[in-house]
Chains A and B, each alone.
Chain A
Amino acid sequence: MRTKQITQKDGYYMTKAAELAKMGEVITNSQIGGRRNIVINGAMQVAQRATQVTGLGAADGYHTLDRWNMEIGDTSAGRFTMDQIADGPSGFANSLKLTTSTADTSIAAGEFLKLEQRFEGKDLQQLKKGTSDAEKVTVSFYVKGNAAATYTCELEDVDNTRSINQAFSVTTDWTRVILTFAADTSDPLGNDVNNSLQLNIWLHGGATYSGGTFVSNAWKDIVENTRMAESHTSIFDSEARTFFITGVQMEVGSQATPFEHRSFGEELTLCQRYFQSYTDNGSGGGNVTNGTIISDRFYGTFRYQKQMRAIPSSFTTTSGGFNVQSSALSVGSMSIDETFNATIDSVRFRTGSNSNFTGGQGAILRFDTGTIEINSEL
Chain B
Amino acid sequence: MDIQSSQYVRDEDGQNSCIKLVLNNMPNNVDYMLIPLNTEGKHYQAIQEWVAEGNTIAEAD
Contact = CB atoms under 8 A, between A and B. Distances in A.
Contacts of B33: 314-317
Contacts of A317: 30-34
B25 A371 contact: no
B36 A338 contact: no
Interface string A351-378: 0000000000000000000010101010
B1 A59 contact: yes
A181 to B, nearest CB: 27
Interface in A4-63: 49-50, 53, 58-59, 63
B17 A340 contact: yes
A59 B29 contact: no
Interface stretch (A123-131, A209-217, A305-313): A305-313
Contacts of B38: 311, 313, 342
B53 interface: no
Contacts of A377: 42
Interface residues of A, number: 29
Interface string A129-143: 000000000000000
A309 to B, nearest CB: 12
A245 interface: no
Given A59-B25, A340-B18, A371 B30 contact: yes
Interface string B3-20: 000000101100001101
Contacts of A311: 36, 38, 40-41
B25 A314 contact: no
A314 B27 contact: no
B32 A319 contact: yes
Contacts of B12: 294-295
A73 B32 CA distance: 24
Interface of B: 1-2, 9, 11-12, 17-18, 20-21, 25, 27-36, 38, 40-44
Interface of A: 49-50, 53, 58-59, 63, 294-295, 310-319, 336-340, 342, 350, 371, 373, 375, 377
28 contacts: A50-B27, A50-B28, A59-B1, A59-B2, A311-B36, A311-B41, A312-B36, A313-B36, A313-B41, A313-B42, A313-B43, A314-B21, A315-B34, A315-B35, A315-B36, A317-B30, A317-B31, A317-B33, A317-B34, A318-B30, A319-B32, A336-B34, A337-B9, A337-B20, A338-B9, A338-B11, A340-B11, A340-B17
